[in-house]
Every structure is written in structure tokens, then in C-alpha cells.
């Protein structure tokens, strides 16, 4: 009796919830670790480096992302999903430990900047490959229902991670949370191995580019297929609008991040106070995000449609950027953080994945690699250059230009919505 009610409440078909639980648990572990890492990185950066140095470290994030993700894209389709996950987790763990050890040995701001860069790349890599990993175990028709539920594991993990962040930081210091992050990543890796050994794979008989080009991909090499995809970005309306919208969103996101980091720098005296605040805030914000993801997103999509739901989030982002132009202080900083982080995970990411699911299975891997692997670093570089230049004028200039980019995001979101509705898979 309980299971049927729970399936109806979550908008799932019978039997889907037990299949989703292992993936929910792994995502829970990933985001417990990444939430702690995020709190550590932001707290130490705001209190010991300062927001004025963000453009430099934004650029470093973009360059290192291009290198690591470029390596990932050459391997993602050649090896099993669990093996690639091992490579990702091992690389991220090594970078975290290297930064932590360097700070323990030499101090200074460079290791703290490395932590800031590593947590961003780790988040991107986990998001990118986890979506690909899911496609090995679920059909496209199942993913639209299951994504909000599985991704809710990340929100729950964030709530736990937020509680751990403030509590442990008071006792051992903010920087010493990094070994705990690495331990949690290792446990998540064990969960990935368990899934790979016990959960059967699902297969969809789809061709890489047939939905776009109508060409039989078996006669072409992988490099030719990717090259053909890149040429279609300008020809396929949905791909073109997704590209534009993603770039604009990344710029908006970094504008919001700069603004709330600058506010945190002024509002808090040290990294431990900020870590305690972020821990408590994260728990509250992710509770809201979790409720939205479990009980609202599927219903919004069912009632309003994917494209309208996506546009609503873009309008909210524009509103946050407008708020930064009109007022300053901790409340608008918290709202900006919520839009840029927790609501992005709870609303935008599942809905954006639903848009990508419009394509065939193999094509989705390429589209995700294009969006997460190339557009995010490019958007980050653009944002860092814009903020560095505008900072010479003042915070009002940053807020004003941020609002203009937010308006462009809404226009682009409307365009991608129309393209999504018109696209025939």
C-alpha cells in the first residue's frame, strides 16, 4: 500500500523507485562531499583571498576544465561508465589532497585558489558523467520521470554536508574538512562499482546523429560524427538555442557568484564564521530545493511543459541580477547564492537534462559533452574577462551589465523553448 502511494506521489511508474535507489544513494554521497568542498572553498576564498581575485581564478577554472574535460571526452565513449568514473574520482581526489597538502606545508593563497578551482571542476565532471552513466541503466522514457527523484539524492546529501560543514569546521578548522571530502568520494566510487556489478544495462537502438542528419553513422568514424555534430550547431535550431542559452546562463551564474562572494567577504570576519553560516544556510536552502525536486518539478513539467519550466528559472535568474542592481547586503547575497547554486541543482539541471533527452542516446552524450565540456569553460572565460574589466569601473557597472545579460538569457530561454517544442525526434 505504501509503495503504490509513494510511486504516485513521486510521479513514477510501479517498480521504478527500487531501481532508482542505488543511483540516489551514490548521488547522495557525491553531493555530501561536494557540498562540504564548496563550503570550504567559498569560505576560505572570501575570507583569505577576496572577491577581487575571482576573475583570475575563474580563468584558471576555465583553462583547467578544458584540459581535463577534453581528456574525458576522448575516453568517455571508449570505456565503461564505471571505469571513467574511477578516473574522474581519482583525479579530483588527487587535486584536493595536493591543494590541502600544499596549504599545510607552505600556506599562502595559491593552494586555496586550487581548492576553489578543483571543487568547480569536480562538480562539473560529476554532473556531466553521472548523467551519461544513468543512460546506461535507464531508457529515455524512464529518465524524464526518474531524474528529479535521483537528483534529489544530491539535495539530501547537500543537507547532510551542510550540517557537517559548520559542525566540523568549528572543531578541526575549515581546511581540514578536505580529507573527509576525499573519503566520501572514495565511498561513492565503491557504490559505482557495486552498481556496475549488480544492475543490468539497458539498451536503446538509436544512432548517434540520425535524429539530426538522417545519415547512417555506422559508415563514419567517431571523429567524423563529432565533426558533423559541430557543423549542425548552426543548422539545428534546438542545438543552436541550447548553445546560446548555456553560454548566457554560465555568464549570469558567475556574475551572481561574484556578487554574493563580495558580500560574504564584507559580512563575515573569518572563514569559520562563514563556514558555519554557509552550513546552516545550505541545509535550509537544500530542504527547499529537495521539496521542489521531489514534489514540484515533475508536476510543473506535466502541467506547464519542459520549455515553460525552463523559462521560469531563467526569469528568476534575471530577477536576482536585477536585485543586485537595486540593493546590497546579506539578503540579496543569500538570494543570489540560492539561484546560482541550490535552485540550479533542484530546478534547472533536471529540466535541462529533459531537454537534452530529446536527442538519441548516443547523441545525448555528445550534447552533454558539448554543453558541460566546452560551453561552460568558454562562458567562464567570457565572464571572468567581463567582470575583470567592469571591476575597474565599480560594482554598479557589474550589476548593470549582469542585468543586461540576464535579460538576454530570458530571451534565449524563450527561443530554446520554442525550438524544443518544435523539434521532432
Place of cell 546562463: 249
Using a 10 angstrom Cβ sphere, with 0-12 exposed, 13-18 middle and 19 or more buried, the burial of residue 145 is buried
- Give me the pLDDT at residue 71, please: 80
- Give me the pLDDT at residue 359, please: 80
- Give me the pLDDT at residue 424, please: 76
Give 201's DSSP letter. P
- Give me the pLDDT at residue 211, please: 41
Domain 12-195+224-422 has CATH 1.20.1250.20: yes
Distance CA 272, CA 40 (A): 9
**Distance (Å) of CA 260 to CA 46, 105, 278, 378:** 10, 30, 12, 22
Strand positions, DSSP E, 357-404: none
- Give me the pLDDT at residue 134, please: 87
Using a 10 angstrom Cβ sphere, with 0-12 exposed, 13-18 middle and 19 or more buried, the burial of residue 6 is exposed
- Give me the pLDDT at residue 333, please: 95
In the predicted model, residues of the chain with pLDDT beneath 50 are: 206-219
**Distance (Å) of CA 268 to CA 112, 121, 255, 274, 364:** 18, 26, 20, 6, 43
- Give me the pLDDT at residue 140, please: 73
pLDDT digits (tens, 9 = 90+) for 351-382: 888 888 888 766 776 777 788 778 888 999 99
Amino acid at each position: 500500500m505504501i509503495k503504490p502511494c509513494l510511486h504516485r506521489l513521486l510521479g513514477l511508474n510501479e517498480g521504478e523507485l527500487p531501481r532508482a535507489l542505488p543511483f540516489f544513494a551514490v548521488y547522495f554521497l557525491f553531493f555530501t562531499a561536494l557540498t562540504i568542498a564548496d563550503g570550504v572553498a567559498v569560505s576560505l576564498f572570501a575570507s583569505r583571498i577576496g572577491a577581487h581575485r575571482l576573475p583570475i581564478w575563474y580563468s584558471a577554472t576555465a583553462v583547467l576544465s578544458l584540459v581535463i574535460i577534453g581528456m574525458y571526452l576522448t575516453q568517455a565513449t571508449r570505456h565503461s561508465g564505471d571505469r571513467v568514473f574511477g578516473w574522474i574520482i581519482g583525479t579530483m581526489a588527487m587535486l584536493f589532497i595536493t591543494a590541502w597538502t600544499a596549504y599545510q606545508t607552505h600556506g599562502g593563497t595559491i593552494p586555496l585558489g586550487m581548492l576553489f578551482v578543483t571543487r568547480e571542476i569536480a562538480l562539473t565532471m560529476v554532473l556531466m558523467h553521472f548523467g551519461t552513466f544513468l543512460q546506461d541503466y535507464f531508457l529515455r522514457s524512464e529518465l524524464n520521470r526518474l531524474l528529479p527523484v535521483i537528483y534529489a539524492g544530491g539535495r539530501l546529501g547537500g543537507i547532510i554536508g551542510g550540517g557537517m560543514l559548520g559542525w566540523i569546521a568549528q572543531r578541526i578548522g575549515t581546511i581540514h574538512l578536505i580529507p573527509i571530502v576525499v573519503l566520501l568520494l572514495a565511498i561513492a566510487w565503491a557504490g559505482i562499482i557495486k552498481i556496475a556489478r549488480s544492475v543490468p544495462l539497458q539498451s536503446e537502438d538509436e544512432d548517434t546523429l540520425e535524429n539530426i542528419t538522417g545519415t547512417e553513422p555506422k559508415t563514419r568514424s567517431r571523429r567524423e560524427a563529432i565533426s558533423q555534430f559541430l557543423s549542425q550547431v548552426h543548422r539545428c535550431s534546438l542545438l543552436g538555442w541550447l548553445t546560446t542559452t548555456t553560454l548566457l546562463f554560465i555568464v549570469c551564474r558567475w556574475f551572481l557568484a561574484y556578487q554574493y562572494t563580495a558580500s560574504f567577504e564584507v559580512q563575515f570576519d573569518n572563514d569559520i564564521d562563514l563556514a558555519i553560516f554557509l552550513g546552516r544556510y545550505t541545509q535550509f536552502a537544500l530542504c527547499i530545493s529537495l521539496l521542489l525536486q521531489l514534489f514540484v518539478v515533475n508536476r510543473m513539467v506535466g502541467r506547464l511543459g519542459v520549455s515553460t519550466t525552463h523559462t521560469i528559472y531563467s526569469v528568476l535568474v534575471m530577477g536576482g541580477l536585477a536585485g543586485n542592481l537595486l540593493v546590497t547586503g546579506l539578503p540579496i547575497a543569500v538570494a543570489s547564492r540560492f539561484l546560482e547554486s541550490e535552485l540550479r541543482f533542484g530546478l534547472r539541471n533536471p529540466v535541462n537534462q529533459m531537454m537534452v533527452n530529446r536527442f538519441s542516446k548516443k547523441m545525448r552524450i555528445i550534447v552533454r559533452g558539448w554543453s558541460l565540456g566546452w560551453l561552460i569553460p568558454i562562458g567562464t572565460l567570457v565572464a571572468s574577462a567581463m567582470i575583470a574589466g567592469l571591476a575597474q569601473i565599480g560594482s554598479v557597472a557589474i550589476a548593470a551589465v549582469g542585468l543586461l545579460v540576464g535579460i538576454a538569457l530570458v530571451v534565449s530561454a524563450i527561443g530554446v523553448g520554442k525550438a524544443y517544442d518544435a523539434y521532432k525526434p
